[in-house]
Structure 1
Amino acid sequence: MSLVVIVLVTFGVMAILQGISLFLVNPIFGIPMDELIAILSGSSTNPNARIAILFVQGIGAGLSFFIAALLVAKLIDKADLGWKQQLAKFKFNGFLLMIILLAGGMMFNALLIDWNSNIVLPEFLSSFENWAKEKEDQAMAITKYITDFDNHSQFLVGILVVGVLAGLGEEFLFRGVLQPKFQQYTGNAHVGIWLAAFVFSAIHFQFYGFFPRMLLGAIFGYLYLYSGSLIYPILAHILNNTTTLVLVYMGKLGKLDFDIEETDSVSIPIAIVGLLILLIGLNVFKEMNKPKMIDGKLD
């Protein structure tokens, strides 16, 4: 029942905030209401369309996840996430290690992205495969449109929406609220992490990016489990999304050779090295954050 309530609250908040954000598109950006479909599909030629769709995504996705999680935590669970304690558990050396292991995860995930994007399903699943590929093409078209920044200002807005708001909202909901509940229901922290990562990936409705996104969710989950601080997965999520945006923008400016549609950019040996960095890094991160006895008391 608790999970049903979380789903209802989350989708309810998303529907309300997306409705409000769409209503505000016309008075804020001067875009007629009859152009909304073209904006949301990434086919509008209006000069304000990119900022408008970023505004809708920021309010209707990132911010809505944060508010939904806050409502569940405060009004339903009557819980306190203890931000003061979580901030106290955040350490700079842990942050540096997080960057290293996240880089390893990205290296391995590149191989997983290539494998997932080329999955061929059995014939009896052909209808689902066609639907999934169509959804993937639509998502890629919108992603390319959103990230095709015309100037530095649009790039910074993209980082705010895709990096900061998405990282904050999704981690608050999936790691801060869902993961502990799954752990409580199953009695197993690892099962809780992977179930939350599964839901995190599934809610994006992109089968051909499902497994690499689930791995990222699991990495964020282990950062939270081993540290007890939601600050680490929030920063890791923001860093992951922002890195992609930077690569895309540098590619457009001609500073880097980067294409967001390419999936075979990492060799198997490099991917294996990345996996080792990730696994060793997580183990060191776990040991680093173990409670220590100081003067007979746990620190």
Structure 2
Amino acid sequence: MEIYKTQSTIAKKSNWLLSMVVTLLVTIGVLFLLQGLSLILVIPLFQVSITEIIQVMTGQSTAPNGRMAILFIQGIGTGFGFIAATLLIAKLVDKADMGFKQHFDNFKFIPFLIMIFVILGGMMFNTLLIDLNGNFQFPSFMAEFEKMLQQKEAELMALTIYLTDFDSIQELMMGVLVIGVLAGLGEELFFRGLLQPKLHQYTGNMHVGVWLTAFIFSAIHMQFYGFLPRMLLGAIFGYLYCYSGSLIYPIIAHIFNNTFTIVLVYLGKLGKIDFDIEEVDQASWPVALGGLALLVISLKLFSEKNKPNLTHEKLE
């Protein structure tokens, strides 16, 4: 069960629509504000202009400090943005206690070891979802819509490749900090720590809360051809939280997943391993099905080994 203790009027089940609208508006406002602040700071810190930043993001420039500048903007505007939005909404809007002490108290070593197998199983099964989603074809009458999605996907993939095409250990460490640590921490605090408990209470069903949050989590990344594998990861993170009563598990799992991918990309660039982030035809049915079995078994074992100490107060 999630930990989110509040009796605020706006957080009541009867006010679910107002609560969701306020959550959305506050989050957009915080992200927009911190994105703007990071754009101002990036000019003197990395000696780049706003024009160069825009050109880098559209693949029209290779400014020397461009990659570090974009990572800085992403770290402040998105990583810290989700952290700030979560704390602001919880404290000032919902007047809620997120129970951080309980999150640490509910974190145990044996379930942590089991969690590793949960994530490995999810990553193995996701190779199949990556292939299926990446090779999805729309019917002919939706050709223009498909073309638009493919164009957007190509633009985002180009930016992803640029951001992870590290030229030094310093850039790699910056990538791990921003894409791994800050993204994992910020997104888990917001989606699993704040949004999922709300949706769980408003729908009255834990599984609906988990999967609806995972759907929104995947949708905000605006990548149709990576939607299914990202949604599965979001659901796994959600169940790790529900079964343990500790956000520490999904935070670590999210950081591990992102960092592992970054390291694979870097080792692939160095020629140490054969890895291409753009490749979608890498799935093996035996590996994928074995991963699914590992995921289900280890997640069940994870739930059985956890006895969270909860003082959750339901949203009325």
> Given the two structures, how large is their TM-score scaled by the length of structure 2?
0.90
**Alignment-derived partner of residue 297 in structure 1:** none
Offset from partner CA, 1:139-172 (integer Å, 9 cap, x none)? 1100100000001110000000000000000000
Selected match of 2:123 from 95, 99, 106: 106
Equivalent pairs counted in the alignment come to 292
1:217 equivalent to 2:234? Answer: yes
Give the gaps of 5 or more residues in structure 1: 293-299
Give the gaps of 5 or more residues in structure 2: 1-17, 310-316
Offset from partner CA, 1:79-127 (integer Å, 9 cap, x none)? 1111111101101111111111100100000110010011111233323
Give the distance between the partners of 2:140 and 2:224, measured in 1 at CA.
17
Offset from partner CA, 1:238-260 (integer Å, 9 cap, x none)? 00000000100011111111111
Give the distance between the partners of 2:35 and 2:308, measured in 1 at CA.
43
The aligned amino acid for 1:69 is: T
The aligned amino acid for 2:300 is: N
Give the distance between the partners of 1:225 and 1:245, measured in 2 at CA.
28
Contact 1:6 1:72 in 2 (8 A): yes
1:92 equivalent to 2:109? Answer: yes
Give the distance between the partners of 1:54 and 1:65, measured in 2 at CA.
16
**Alignment-derived partner of residue 68 in structure 2:** 51
**Alignment-derived partner of residue 257 in structure 1:** 274
Spell out the pairing of 1:214-293 with structure 2 (5 A cutoff): 214-290=231-307
Contact 1:42 1:146 in 2 (8 A): no
Give the distance between the partners of 1:65 and 1:134, measured in 2 at CA.
27
**Deviation (angstroms), 1:286:** 0.4
Give the distance between the partners of 1:205 and 1:10, measured in 2 at CA.
17
Selected match of 1:12 from 29, 45, 48: 29
Selected match of 1:202 from 219, 222, 225: 219
Show structure 1 runs of 4+ deviating over 6 A: none
Q: Which moved more, 1:140-149 or 1:16-25?
A: 16-25
Selected match of 2:182 from 161, 165, 169: 165
Give the distance between the partners of 1:69 and 1:239, measured in 2 at CA.
22
Q: Considering Cα pairs closer than 8 Å and 6+ residues apart, tell me whether 1 or 2 has the greater RCO.
A: 2
